[in-house]
Structure 1
Amino acid sequence: MGDERLLAAMLGQLIWLALALAGAAWLGGPLSERLGLVPSRLPWRWVVVALVGFLCLSAAADAGLRTLALREGGRLGEIDELVRDTRAALAASLVALGLLPALCEELLFRGFALRALEGRFATWVAVTGSSVLFGLAHADLVHGGAAFVLGLYLGVVAVWAGSVVPAILCHAANNLYGIAALAGLAPPGEPLDAVGAWGLLVASGVCLTLLRAVRKRPLPVGNELQREAESADS
């Protein structure tokens, strides 16, 4: 039963990937640019800062959900149960629930969707809109709400970096650590409210730093990419 659910999870992620590729192809232009698979403007030390901030924000969100007794129900509870049920197939869990979601979801929501929206709207609208879509895609009120908040952070990282790669790394690190903790291979997150609050404060500070950097270095996407391509052709 667990293996079947892992296969279903993998299939769902491949559908997200297909949508990202189809959307990028429909818009035209190089797929790598439409999906954000370009070199990051962020030096690696700042990628590490972004990753740490994301882990802090995720831990804070998790602590809040546990305090409100919302973690065990719905989709999040199902994922926890699936990881525990498939410990013998840990490698499959790491791929189906860790790496594939990080790659496929980021390419769709922080790659294609964010860049497509930013070609028509202001950056903050694009980040918010792609995060709303990310939350709705989880089809669960609690999981979707947490995904929306985390999506805002990942959107800021993607915009500042000018690339989806750092967002993929943040997403993957968070997923893999969560799976390892559930499987008993890593220490579980500290459930104390104070720790969660401090994590949220740290992550919020990182987000503010990223937002300030975004204003200074806007990302050339959408129509700007098209104009650059036309200029190069001429």
Structure 2
Amino acid sequence: GPLERSSVDRTTLSFVTGLLGLGAAFILFQFILTPIILVLQIAMAEGGLSMEALNSQEQLLASYTRELILSNSIGQVIGLAIPALLAARLHSSEWVGYLRLRSVDGRLLLLALVGVVGLQPVTQWLAELNRELPLPESARLVEQSQLELIRRVLESDLGLVFNVVMLALVPGVCEELLFRGYAQRQFERAAGPAGGIILAGGLFGLYHLRPSQLLPLIMLGLYMAYLAWRTGSLLPAMAVHVAHNGFAVLAARYVETSPRYDLEAIEQASMPWYAVLLGFVIVGGVLYVMHTLAPHVRDE
């Protein structure tokens, strides 16, 4: 591709394009496309644009929940997924393989999903540790607005299928194309497989702007980054991402509709040590079998 013909050192080029790709997509998605799409939707719904609605975050969340989540999802497709595809094409005419968009053995896919089960108590425990870290009030406010939108979506009458598609399927596909598809490939070329996995996993945690969930998100990002590298396919990482988010949506929906449970209390609950230990054993076992099995499967 055109970028590969550059005279810049290959290691430097790969590292810089990986960072620039993530940064540009983040800005395009968060600060340009999503707000524009939201404004257009509100204008179409109201037959004109009301600045009052845009000035009040509470009114936006209460009156335009559907428009907010649709704007977010459309923004991810146009701002994250499509730029990842275009950027890969600038590096290689074989952009499908470059992004690891290839089939994967069913055994590896099943193993990856078993790991999601083990990750649940581990990430919950990491969230407990995360809560002990000092966080600036501004960071908490940003995160609170995100959580409020998700809560409004879950409590709305938009339907379970809509919620799973918007909160699990769309981010699971779009974010993986950008992080494990494009950015990780660049970081691996710059710093090797281990460096690529660490960078892609760590930046995935930072990208979400959720300080109280930084450690769990990094753990999830590292797991998916390893899967993409070891299997040579993006599909296991996508499946894990969708399954993890989908499980959270289903669990939150169940809690919201059950008077016996309180969502906030459950989120603050401590995870028993034996559940955390079992989670680590499951994830460790999955990684061991995956590391051993994947090369043989690819050679079959």
Name the structure 2 match of 1:207.
287
- Out of 34, 51, 55, which is 2:117 matched to? 55
Gaps of 5+ in 1: 220-234
Equivalent residues of 1:9, 1:97 under 8 A apart: no
Distance 1:162 1:209 in 2: 16
- Larger C-alpha radius of gyration, 1 or 2? 2
TM-superposition CA deviations, 1:120-169 (whole Å, max 9, x none): 33110111111122122112222333221111111111111111011111
1:109 paired to 2:189: no
> Quick one: which amino acid aligns to residue 98 of structure 1?
A
1:213: how far off? 5.7
1:133 paired to 2:203: yes
Distance 1:26 1:142 in 2: 36
Distance 1:87 1:165 in 2: 31
Name the structure 1 match of 2:70.
7
1:38: how far off? 1.1
TM-superposition CA deviations, 1:7-64 (whole Å, max 9, x none): 2320332211122112212212222112111122xx3123212111123213421244
- Out of 162, 165, 172, which is 2:232 matched to? 162
Equivalent residues of 1:134, 1:147 under 8 A apart: yes
Across the aligned residues of Structure 1 and Structure 2, the Cα RMSD in angstroms comes to 3.0
Distance 1:34 1:144, change over 3 A: farther
Distance 1:87 1:150, change over 3 A: farther
Query: What is the identity percentage for the equivalent residue pairs of Structure 1 and Structure 2?
Result: 25
Name the structure 2 match of 1:223.
none
Gaps of 5+ in 2: 1-63, 133-139
Name the structure 2 match of 1:25.
89
Q: Taking CA–CA contacts closer than 8 Å with sequence separation of 6 or more, which of the two structures ends up with the larger relative contact order?
A: 1
TM-superposition CA deviations, 1:77-132 (whole Å, max 9, x none): 44651443335333221111110011001111111111222233311011111112
Distance 1:69 1:128, change over 3 A: closer
Distance 1:91 1:192 in 2: 29
Structure having the larger proportion of residues in helix? 2
Equivalent residues of 1:83, 1:183 under 8 A apart: no
Equivalent residues of 1:6, 1:93 under 8 A apart: no
Distance 1:111 1:24, change over 3 A: same
Equivalent residues of 1:53, 1:203 under 8 A apart: yes
1:211: how far off? 4.3
Equivalent residues of 1:137, 1:144 under 8 A apart: no
Distance 1:68 1:26, change over 3 A: closer
Name the structure 2 match of 1:230.
none
> Quick one: which amino acid aligns to residue 114 of structure 2?
V
> Quick one: which amino acid aligns to residue 176 of structure 2?
E
Equivalence map 1:36-185=2 (5 Å): 36-40=100-104, 43-65=105-127, 74=143, 77-78=147-148, 80-184=150-254
Equivalent residues of 2:80, 2:175 under 8 A apart: yes
> Quick one: which amino acid aligns to residue 223 of structure 2?
Y
Name the structure 1 match of 2:10.
none
Aligned residues: 213
SS in 2 for 1:178: helix
TM-score by length of 1: 0.77
